[in-house]
Amino acid sequence: MGASFVAHVLFLLWFFATTFSFFCKAESNVTCNEKDKQALLNFKQGLSDPSKNLSSWSDQEDCSRWDRVVYDNKTGRVTELHLSDSRLGGEISGSLLQLEHLNLLDLSGNDFNCTPIPTFLGSMASLTHLDLGYSNFSGHIPHQLGNLSNLRHLNLGGNYYLYADNFHWISNLSSIQYLDLSNSKHQSEVGWLQIMSMFPSLSMLFASDCELVNLNPSLGFVNFTSLQYLDLFNNLFSHEIPNWFSNLTTSLLYLDLARNYLRGEIPTSIFNLQKLDSLFLYSNKIIGKIPESLGQLKHLTYLNMLDNSFSGPIPSSIGNLSYLEGLWLSENQLNGTIPKTIGLLSNLEYLFVGDNFLTGTVDEGHFTKLSKLEYLDISHTHLFFNVKSNWVPPFQLTTITMSSCKIGPNFPMWLQTQRSVRHLLLSKSEISDKAPGWFWNWTSNIKIIDLSDNQIEGDVSEIVLNSHFINLRSNHFKGQMPQLSTNVQELNIANNSISGPISSFMCQKMNRKNQVMVLDASNNLLTGALPHCWKYWQSLTHLDLGSNDISGRIPYSLGSLVALQSLHLQNNSISGDIPSSLKKCSNLSLIDIGENLLSGAIPPWIGEMTNLTILRLTSNGFKGHIPLQICQLSSLIVLDLANNSLSGHIPNCLKNISAMTIPTPRFEAQYSYDYLGGLYYYGGTYLENLKLVPKGLELEYEENLGFVKMIDLSSNNLSGSIPSEISVLSELCFLNLSRNQLIGKIPEKIGIMKKLESIDLSQNHLSGEIPLSLSSLTFLSRLNLSYNNLSGKIPLGSQLQTFDAFSYIGNPQLCGNPLPKNCTIGEESQNRTPIGKTEEDSNNSNFYIGMGVGFAVGFWTVCGVLFFNRTWRHAYFKFFDDMKDCIYVATVLNVNWLLEKLRSCHL
């Protein structure tokens, strides 16, 4: 849709220029035809007109004076009805048929409430121009429209629920010049191209989002003679781009094949389209090199081939495209250096070459004539941006996207010459230098700043931040926390050396009017107690003060943060108990207060926090029983209560935690680009981050957090047996019950928990035999049953033998491989069949025999430890438009981050 915009605008400009004159015409003394007047009054009667746009249509007034009606001043007959964007609805009366001289009927931009297009329109033989676009018509496109043989302009676009079985009806529209069928559905039509290509005067064809499947003409060639605009954006073409463009070499100006599934290389005939002005091929699966013949397209203004699989170098002939204003080549596999000829493109405004394998140096020479450049993306490449420190670039950029490409070690001083920057993305750019004195003041008009993962130094105590999104994570900033203007919505200053009492930042006068939603100051040197001025921080949705040196109690006033969705206070020295006020924060989906000095009981009201997904209370002094109410937390995926002094039984009801019994749904990234504007950004992409110890090793989870499903109750005083119901938690990946006082047997059906990657039951008093079903856990890569009273033979015939003896030691009565102790005949229990094991199960486990650890390791990312794909980058690292920043804030940050983001997640 976005790309066809230019064509639409051009056309509409022309159209209004030619028709506007009718409206400002001098008055005439020929009165309007009475029959036409009555017909229009009847037509008006059927319509709903809430905005009274047709109020001038009255019986008293001659219809020559009516708004939106054009009539012929010689005959008095009505010739045109301009009713677009009038909020009309209701019924379209057949009385229109009496307007025998009507040439133009424009009903676009209204709302006809999903009614079908009236068939009688096909009898209005005088029509040359029929516009029904974006008017919420639905149903079958009436084939009667095909009778309108004088029609030159037909717009049915933007009616998402229109469809047709075939295009045969169209073939009679012999005068058609402009045809817009966008968004109507034509999946079953395979011969459409042949039919379209028979119209001798067709010059504009818009068929985006039509579910068309085939771009090959059935006769093998096309016969377009006048086609100038061809928009086939967002269809279902999944073959190679056909080679029939040769017959369009002198006519075609605009070609949009973007967002399809096109494969193969670009056919050379495309480069013979001498007049081509816009070529959109983005988001396909096109491979091969971009040929040097690209330079033949002398009139090219927009070239967008983003998000394909182009390889090889950027052709140096690109310097011949002197009209080029927009070049989008990001997200391909281009390699080699950026040709210097790019510096000749004196009209270039958009240069997007990021996310490629480009190498070499970019220097002043690449920008010699780029005085109009506004948007630059060289991020995620191997490029070295190497310019002199006194360089004065010819351009004024608004968007600087240079993350993950080398800029440093020196701070890029040329930035100071740029006075219009709105987005500055310099993450991971190897800058290890002091931020210059002018820098912070210079940033005050920038909306999005990302300097994360560099080694930038400087004392930030005195600076005032004013940007919407500020990411300074993982640098060498020091001093006290900076001050924040009311514009700041997200500040991530984690992993620096910020010191001073947390309260002086939170309660400081200037910061009291803040609008901050996300504050991450974790991993710094902040000290003192949590203050009582949370009432100034009501916008907070995400707060992370983890890994500092904060002491004192959790203040009761923290409960005033009712918007809070995640709270991280882990790894500090916070003491006391969990204040009951916290239950007012009912949007909380993540609580991490592990590694503190907290004590008291786990409050039963925790069961009322129904959105809770992650609860981490590990390594504190919590006492008492695990409250049964915890089982009401149906969204819980991480329950980590390890290393406390909890006693009593493991609740039987854990089986009610449905998030651990149903798979994490697949993630459909909802992202969209405005490719014409071409701006797309990282911005405010705060990702939750949680350190867990799922398999004996500490791991940091970000994007993949939704796939971790774990219960860790280790190192407490829990007694009783492991409830057999636990086996219902079939999505659980990590189970750690070690270092408790548990007795009884390992649940027989543990083998149903197919996703288990790690089981640690060590250092309890478990007895009985190891259930055979354990051997069917094909993802299991860590097992620790040591130091219990288990007996009998370790089940054979699967990967249970791939774990070493340390998994089993300390069980004096256990025998068999891998333990050194051989089983005597008596100890060996033969023909043991696990309860509930079906034949199918055992076939499965036979199938996996022999794959052993290799298989398990290969697939252990079921629970997503090193999971990172393009979809996420699309969704979180790319955003497009200044104007959309605020929409972004509203939609991304206000969603309940985990539920919204991860419920719709897939692997």
Ligand X SMILES: *[C@@H]1O[C@H](CO)[C@@H](O)[C@H](O)[C@H]1NC(C)=O
The DSSP line for 168-230 is GGGGG-TT--EEE-TTSB-TT--SHHHHHTT-TT--EEE-TTS-----S-TTS----SS--EE
Q: Which is nearer to ligand X, 444 or 645 (CB)?
A: 444
Q: How far is the CB of 611 from ligand X (least distance, A)?
A: 4
Query: Could you tell me the smallest distance in angstroms from the CB atom of residue 587 to ligand X?
Result: 4
Q: Which residue has the tokens 């229009």?
A: 40
Helix (H), strand (E), coil (C) string for 12-71: HHHHHHHHHHHHCCCCCCCCCCHHHHHHHHHHHHHEECCCCCCCCCCCCCCHHHCCCEEE
Contacting range for ligand X; rule: CB under 6 A; set: 23-31, 62-70, 622-630, 727-735 = 23-31
Minimum distance of ligand X from residue 714's CB (angstroms):
30
CA-to-CA separations, 751 to 96, 729, 771, 834, 840, in angstroms, rounded: 73, 11, 8, 9, 13
When the beta carbons of 312 and 552 are compared against ligand X, the nearer one is: 312
Residue 18 contacts ligand X per CB under 6 A: no
Residue 904 touching ligand X (CB under 6 A): no
Structure tokens at 37: 């007047």
Rule CB under 6 A: choose which of 19, 123, 247, 658 binds ligand X. 247
In the shown chain, the binding pattern of residues 65 to 104 toward ligand X, with x for contact by CB under 6 A and - for none, equals --------x-------------------------------
Site for ligand X in 293-312 (CB under 6 A): 311-312
Residue 335 in contact with ligand X, rule: CB under 6 A: yes
Q: Is 251 in the site for ligand X (CB under 6 A)?
A: no
Q: Applying CB under 6 A, does 611 fall inside the site for ligand X?
A: yes
Q: Per CB under 6 A, which of residues 421..450 are in contact with ligand X? A: 441
Token pair 């973007």 in the structure block, residue: 258
* Rounded least distance, CB 841 to ligand X, Å: 29
Task: Give how many residues touch ligand X by CB under 6 A.
Answer: 25
**Residues 529, 853, 899, 907: which binds ligand X (CB under 6 A)?**
899
Is 523 buried (19+), middle (13-18) or exposed (0-12) by CB count in 10 A?
Answer: buried
**Rounded Cα–Cα distance for residues 397 and 40 (Å):** 54
- Per CB under 6 A, the list member of 9, 14, 28, 513 interacting with ligand X is 28
CB of 242 to ligand X, least distance (A): 9
Part of the chain binding ligand X (CB under 6 A), chosen from 216-224, 416-424, 618-626, 700-708: 216-224
Q: Is 829 in the site for ligand X (CB under 6 A)?
A: no
Q: Report strand pairing: 69-71 vs 78-82.
A: antiparallel
Q: Which residues, 6+ apart, have CB-to-CB distance to 587 below 8 Å?
A: 541, 562, 563, 564, 565, 611, 896
Which residue of 221, 556, 605, 868 would you call a contact of ligand X, by CB under 6 A? Answer: 221
In contact, 650 and 676? CB cutoff 8 Å: no
Q: Does 244 help bind ligand X (rule: CB under 6 A)? A: yes
Of 50 and 220, which CB lies nearer to ligand X in the complex structure?
A: 220
Q: Are 159 and 133 in contact (CB under 8 A)?
A: yes
Residues in 39-58 at the binding interface with ligand X, rule: CB under 6 A: none
Chain-centroid distance, C-alpha 341: 35
**Half-sphere CA count of 353, side-chain side, radius 13 A:** 22
Q: Cα separation of 725 and 748, whole Å?
A: 10
Question: Which residue type sits at 671?
Answer: Y
- Taking the complex as a whole, the smallest distance from the CB of residue 759 to ligand X amounts, in Å, to 27
CB nearer to ligand X: pick between 191 and 744:
191
Contact flag: residue 17 with ligand X (CB under 6 A):
no
The answer to whether residue 896 forms part of the interface with ligand X (CB under 6 A) is yes
Stretch that binds ligand X, among 218-226, 297-305, 639-647, 683-691 (CB under 6 A): 218-226
User: Alpha-carbon Rg of the chain, whole angstroms?
Assistant: 34
Interacting span for ligand X (CB under 6 A) from 172-180, 365-373, 451-459, 895-903? 895-903
The residues, ordered by sequence, that sit 6+ positions from 224 with a Cβ below 8 Å of its Cβ are 196, 197, 202, 247, 248, 251
Binding residue for ligand X, selected from 26, 59, 838, 840, defined by CB under 6 A = 26
Q: Is 670 in the site for ligand X (CB under 6 A)?
A: no
> Given the complex with ligand X, which of 29 and 389 has the nearer CB atom?
29
Q: How far is 88 from 282, CA to CA, in rounded Å?
A: 37
- With helix as H, strand as E and coil as C, how does 512-565 read? HHCCCCEEECCCCEEEEECCCCHHHHCCCCEEECCCCEEEEECCHHHHHCCCCC
Closest approach of ligand X to the CB of residue 551, in Å? 30
Are 718 and 764 in contact by the 8 Å Cβ rule? The answer is no
Distance CA 311, CA 286 (A): 10
Helices (H), 624-751: none
**Chosen residue from 222, 342, 407, 448 binding ligand X by CB under 6 A:** 222
Site for ligand X in 803-822 (CB under 6 A): 822
Q: Which stretch binds ligand X (CB under 6 A): 42-50, 217-225, 766-774, 885-893?
A: 217-225
The 10 Å CB-count burial string (b at 16+, else e) for 577-611 is bbbebbbebebbbbbbbbbbebeeebbeebbebeb
Residues 373-432 within binding reach of ligand X (CB under 6 A): none
The 575-604 contact track toward ligand X, x by CB under 6 A, reads -----------xx-----------------
> Smallest distance from the beta carbon of 281 to ligand X, in angstroms?
20
Q: Cβ distance 660 to 637 under 8 Å?
A: yes
Binding site for ligand X (CB under 6 A): 26, 28-29, 73, 200, 221-223, 225, 244, 246-247, 311-312, 335-336, 441, 586-587, 610-611, 822, 896, 899-900
